Chains A and B, each alone.
Chain A
Amino acid sequence: MAKARQWEPLDEMSVTPVLDLRGVDKSFGPVQVLHGAALSAYAGEVTALVGDNGAGKSTLIKCLGGMLPMDGGEYLFEGRPVRVGSPREAAALGIEIVHQDLALCENLDVVQNMFLGRERRSGMVLDEAAMEEMAARTLTGLSVRTIKSVRQPISSLSGGQRQSVAIARAMLWDSKVVVLDEPTSALGVAQSRQVLEVVRRLADRGRAVVLVSHNMNDVFAVADRICVMFLGRTVAQVRASDVTHAQVVELITSGRSGDGVEAGRPVPVHGRGTGPGGGAGRG
């Protein structure tokens, strides 16, 4: 298909990614899980991080969020090298991670969950009114329409609604990067669409969104860029419009897009083994 490259390197270079991980290595004892993995996320865009089970997506996200230390590699935030040693430091930079298990308290209501750990106070007491207004405004901004009341306990919400609340929580803070780990994996068709709309809106409001997903339909529905991982390496970082469904699936399963399109294969934007076929040597 896309034999000719459709993206301009200069165009890419002119915009600094908000988040730029390069050459990330990570080992657990003797097992090296990441071999120079890379990931860039741009403001206002959804970057999908795809790869098969065991490709190293979760490990890369954990390094990104400061939950795991990186063994080697560069971590650039807004172009500056930073050290992120803990989730708190990541949050201080403006990186919010929405985990797969959402981390919501079912016994608390929507507002209480959105402000958990960062409650607003007026004097000694909780400023419930301000929190409720801000929560309602944020949810409205993301067009989360199905929640009947912001004072409903989380336990009464559907999976999609919970996911929306978790995303809205990440949105409340002055976050620059929002990482969503498999947000639709447990959801039905309608709920998935609802969540993907929220994801899209999050990017439209200027956030750099990283979407970890297994589902190609989801990826092509919302992603501007796709970052493919294969056995701990980043084998491609491309614009979603430059590749086909089938090519991405091939990259995921074999680390390269086969049948002779090697030359026209989308080239990693960053990453160690740059150039055509860089990461494709394996496979």
Chain B
Amino acid sequence: MKVADADFALDRREQTVTSAVRDYWARVRGGELGALPSIFSLASLVILFTALRPETFLSERNIANLFVQAMSVTILALGLVFVLLLGEIDLSAGVTSGVCAAVMAKLMTEAGQPWYVTVPAALLTGLVIGTCIGLLVAVVRIPSFVVTLALFLGLQGVTLRLIGEGGTVPVRDEVIVALANDNMPIWLGWTLAVLCTAWFAASQLLRWRRQRRRGLARRPLGLVLAQIAVVGAALLGLTFLMGLDRAPSPAIVLNGVPWGVPLVGVLVITATFVLNRTVYGRHVYAVGGNAEAARRAGIHVTAIRMSVFMIASTLAAVAGMVDASRLNSVTPDAGAGNVLLYAVGAAVIGGTSLFGGKGRARDAVLGGLVVTVIINGLGLLGSPAYMQMLITGGVLLLAASIDALARRRQAATGR
């Protein structure tokens, strides 16, 4: 059947870049901010810190350092995006990462197990914790805030028991240590970057062509090309930057993309795929948007609710191991303190709503970078710990306020 001319004008009209930009601006004014706040704050923070510490902040060494620092907070935030999409919260994600790292470290040092035993064990620990949270929240129906607050305390006890008061378990396994401390060979970095760019460009262009052939809603070609250009430039540019020698002394050469970066990349791409392209992801958004509507549509709301906590805790285990790799050890307070605050902050700054139903996997990356730039920059400025806490807390509040105000604006403009 041919669609009549009056209907769905936007789907049929070939949108120009100008009209698409105008639509986008109208959406932003209507409170649909998307990635705008995070990109804006990232840019201004980079400019600010570059101005204050011109010789250190944008040095090759610090940029690589930034990415290594950002890895664990990004992975943790990625898991939290799933939980936040349902309008729930996991306050125990940080300490879960600590427990899992402790399990991994103990198995290595005391049982002498190799990484391919300890890593699955840590992941399983995370999965079990997530299942417990999920059962208590989705089946018993205790508010997630309370369940995970209790676990926040309880799991710190578990880590303390595992590692012992004042103790530190060193992490020496080569594979684990390499994650945050070793770099890919230059050629591999470039190959990966080029392959990723090509794959992204091909998938976007093929999708656009398919949509045009079938007369479906699509973005203007100019915008698709611009997006490909930006993503490609970012990937290739970063590979170039990390390819530069950043060794502190001229005697050695230290360059290449840290191994953890492709790990984060794989996780983020997988999460994006799951959320955008699978039935499961669609149901997560549906339950977050209107749980009652989802239930009536035949969606297994309890199972979806449980699953997001399982995903979050399992990803927390990954974050814990990455952090253990970066620090070469696990301490009793691993994952405690402000680790969770940073991760929640990252997700919210990235654009994930605390009210549920809105958020993307890429929010974790953008928000994770913003949070890390703050921590890293303040560290370079030599500001005392209390300032770092004050500023990070303030940024989280600011992001949450933007989220709340944007939501009100959306309600007011009927978007």
Are B7 and A155 in contact, with the CB atoms below 8 A? no
Are B8 and A108 in contact, with the CB atoms below 8 A? no
Are B277 and A125 in contact, with the CB atoms below 8 A? yes
The residue that B285 contacts in the complex, of A107, A139, A148, with Cβ under 8 A, is A107
How many Å lie between the Cα of A152 and that of B8 in the bound state?
Answer: 10
Chain B's nearest CB lies how many Å from the CB of A12? 34
Q: Is B238 an interface residue (CB 8 A)?
A: no
How many Å lie between the Cα of A158 and that of B414 in the bound state?
Answer: 8
How many Å lie between the Cα of A105 and that of B286 in the bound state?
Answer: 6
Q: Is A245 an interface residue (CB 8 A)?
A: no
**Knowing A147-B7, A151-B217, A155-B414 touch, does A129 contact B278 (C-beta < 8 A)?**
no
Spot the interface stretch: B133-141, B261-269, B291-299, B325-333.
B291-299
Interface string of A14-31 (1 = CB under 8 A from B): 000000000000000000
- Residues from chain B with a CB closer than 8 A to the CB of A126 are 277-279, 282
How many Å lie between the Cα of A158 and that of B358 in the bound state?
Answer: 21
Interface residues on A, range: 35 or more
Interface string of B3-16 (1 = CB under 8 A from A): 11011111100000
How many Å lie between the Cα of A199 and that of B319 in the bound state?
Answer: 54
Are B4 and A140 in contact, with the CB atoms below 8 A? yes
- Residues from chain A with a CB closer than 8 A to the CB of B214 are 129, 133
Within 8 A of A (CB), among B29-73: none
Are A149 and B1 in contact, with the CB atoms below 8 A? no
Q: Is B290 an interface residue (CB 8 A)?
A: yes
Are B10 and A103 in contact, with the CB atoms below 8 A? no
- Which residue of chain B has the shortest Cβ distance to A130 in the bound complex? B214
- Residues from chain A with a CB closer than 8 A to the CB of B253 are none
Are A129 and B210 in contact, with the CB atoms below 8 A? yes
Within 8 A of B (CB), among A134-157: 136-137, 139-141, 144-145, 147-153, 155-156
What is the interface size of chain B, counting residues whose CB is below 8 A from a CB of the partner?
Answer: 36
Q: Is A87 an interface residue (CB 8 A)?
A: yes
The residue that B7 contacts in the complex, of A105, A119, A140, A158, with Cβ under 8 A, is A140
- Residues from chain A with a CB closer than 8 A to the CB of B415 are 153, 155-156
The residue that B290 contacts in the complex, of A106, A125, A128, A153, with Cβ under 8 A, is A106
How many Å lie between the Cα of A204 and that of B299 in the bound state?
Answer: 31
Q: Is A1 an interface residue (CB 8 A)?
A: no
- Residues from chain A with a CB closer than 8 A to the CB of B277 are 125-126
Q: Is A117 an interface residue (CB 8 A)?
A: yes
Interface string of A214-246 (1 = CB under 8 A from B): 000000000000000000000000000000000
Q: Is A116 an interface residue (CB 8 A)?
A: yes
Within 8 A of A (CB), among B383-397: none
Are A116 and B6 in contact, with the CB atoms below 8 A? no
Query: Assuming A103-B297, A117-B286, what are 7 further A-B pairs, CB within 8 angstroms?
Result: A112-B285, A116-B286, A119-B279, A140-B8, A147-B7, A149-B10, A150-B217
Binding site for A on B (CB under 8 A): 1, 3-4, 6-11, 210-211, 214, 216-217, 277-279, 282-283, 285-286, 288-290, 292-294, 296-299, 357-358, 410, 414-415
A–B complex contacts, Cβ < 8 Å, 8 sampled: A88-B298, A91-B298, A103-B293, A117-B286, A121-B279, A136-B7, A148-B9, A156-B414
